[in-house]
Structures are given as C-alpha cells and as structure tokens.
C-alpha cells in the first residue's frame, strides 16, 4: 500500500503508475480533484490496475491535512510507503498564513507524516520518502524570520520565491535527517532525494515570468519524468538500503558529501520542534 502526495502530474504520476503496475494499492493524495481524477483514469487505463484511489489533500491547509489523515486511517488497514512529493515554487501564503513554499513543501508534509507515523510503524517494514532538490545548497533556515513572519525569508518577487523554494528544500532534508533519529528502533526508514532537473509543472501557478524561466531551464537541462522517477522508486523499493535511513539520494545513490548545514543536528532538532509548534503537535 502506497500513499503519494502530488501524484496527478509529472514525476508523481510516473511513480504512481510504476507502483500500480507492480500491483500496489496506490492512494493519490491531491488538491485538484479534477486533474487528479484524470490522472487516476490514465493510470488505470495504462496499468489495468483497479487499486488506484483518489483522496483530497491540500498541503497548504493544515486542516485539510488533518482531514486527509483522519479519512485515510479510517479507510485503510495499512501503509507501507508514504511518498512526500508535492511541491510549489511560487509566491503567496497558505490558508494558515505561512509562506507558501515553506507551508506546502515542508510543513504540510511534516504534519502529514507525523499523523501517519503510527500506521507506518504498525505496517513495518515501511518507508517515508521525501522529494527534495539539489537547490538545497542555496538554502538556509532563518529561525528569526520563521518565528516572526511564519516564512523562511522576506520578499515577494519571483527571485524571492525561488530562494524560498531553496530554503524549503533544505527543510525537507533536515526533516528526514531528524525523522531517521526519531525512528531508530522502529521498522520504519526514511530517505530524502533529488530527482534531477525534471521538466514538470512545478511553476504552473506562478507568474508568467516564473513560468518562462522554469520552462527555459527545463528545456535546456531537464530529463523526462520517467527518468526523474527512478531515484524515488529506488528509495521506495530497493532492498538493502535500510542502514542508510536519513540519507539524501541522487541518481539512485546516497550522497556522502552533503553540505554541513544539511547535517546539522541542532538545526534539524530546532526545525522539528518549531514545526511541531506551528502544527499544534507539541
């Protein structure tokens, strides 16, 4: 049984299709129900699977995350794999007045994972896979800005939105790093990864300028979605990597030369505790 956020387009859809083809029961957790239903029908048609389901999830609304978790726990008996894939690179705020990139890319997934942890533990061996980005190298965690402005940085330009995206991707890695520590002794492992520069619709809600920039970068440097899905599938399915829980993967291999800020124990712990406070878990 696999649950995926952001599964109605791009690499999310490609991974869902692969898992369905392997016989998994796949839950597509998506905000846009119309697009998600079209994706679900495509996957069913391509794989012949009758075990592809759709559930409503808006990661930019913490109440939606709670409702999704409540409905999932009522309807599903197990959870073997949780893939945190949804991501945005845009300006604006979430329904809870957090910066959009931080709120969707990190905080929504943080709450979702925590609400489903008991089910993951009961279903072990199980995994949590979180899609990050190599752009974490340009990221930082400004706790003063987070506590004061509920965002990872100030500014509302297209450039600011990209920088905030980078910050949120560092948060993804620190979240996984801390989660691995907290899961020690359980039968749940976790991994973060960068799928490569995949030509997806990540900027589809952005300004025209943002969409042009992402499109040009995609055309020049991107790989196709099926190639981009491979590292996600590796972290989800590959046997023998359990001892690498908490690591960051690229091209189906763990990166051992991570920048120190992505392996900072104090920062990871503080981000976890602040995220708990923001989500009302502490």
- How do the domains of the chain map onto residue ranges? 2-279
Residue 65 has pLDDT above 80, yes or no: yes
Residues 12 and 160: their CA atoms lie apart, in Å, by: 26
| Sign of the CA dihedral with 169 first, then 173, 174, and 178 last | positive
Write down the pTM of the prediction.
Answer: 0.91
Q: Give the least confident one: 154-158, 245-249, 267-271.
A: 154-158
CATH architecture of the domain covering 2-279: 3-Layer(aba) Sandwich (3.40)
165 assigned to active site: yes
Per the rule left: phi > 0, alpha: psi between -120 and 50, beta: everything else, 97 is left
**List 136, 165, 177, 191, catalytic entry:** 165
Quick: pLDDT tens for 72-112.
999 999 999 999 999 999 999 999 999 999 999 999 999 99
Residues 271 and 176: their CA atoms lie apart, in Å, by: 11
């Amino acid at each position: 049984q696999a649950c995926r956020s952001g599964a109605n387009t791009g690499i999310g859809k490609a991974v869902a299709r692969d898992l369905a083809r392997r016989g998994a029961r796949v839950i597509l957790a998506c905000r846009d129900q119309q697009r998600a239903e079209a994706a679900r029908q495509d996957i069913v048609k391509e794989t012949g699977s009758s075990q592809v389901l759709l559930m409503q999830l808006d990661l930019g609304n913490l109440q939606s995350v709670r409702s999704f978790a409540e409905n999932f726990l009522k309807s599903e008996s197990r959870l073997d794999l949780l893939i945190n894939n949804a991501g945005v690179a845009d300006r604006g705020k979430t329904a809870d007045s957090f910066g959009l990139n931080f709120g969707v890319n990190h905080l929504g997934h943080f709450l979702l994972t925590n609400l489903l942890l008991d089910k993951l533990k009961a279903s072990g061996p199980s995994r949590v896979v979180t899609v990050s980005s190599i752009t974490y190298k340009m990221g930082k965690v400004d706790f003063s800005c987070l506590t004061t402005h509920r965002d990872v940085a100030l500014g509302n330009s297209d450039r600011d939105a990209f920088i905030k995206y980078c910050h949120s991707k560092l948060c993804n890695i620190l979240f996984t790093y801390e989660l691995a520590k907290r899961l020690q002794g359980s039968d749940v492992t976790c991994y973060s990864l960068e799928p490569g520069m995949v030509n997806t619709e990540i900027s589809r809600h952005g300004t025209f300028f943002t969409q042009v920039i992402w499109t040009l970068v995609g055309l020049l440097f991107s790989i196709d979605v099926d190639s981009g899905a491979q590292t996600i599938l590796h972290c989800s399915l590959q046997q023998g990597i359990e001892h690498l829980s908490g690591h960051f993967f690229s091209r189906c291999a763990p990166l051992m030369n991570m920048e120190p800020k992505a392996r900072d124990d104090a920062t990871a712990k503080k981000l976890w505790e602040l995220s708990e406070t923001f989500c009302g878990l502490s």
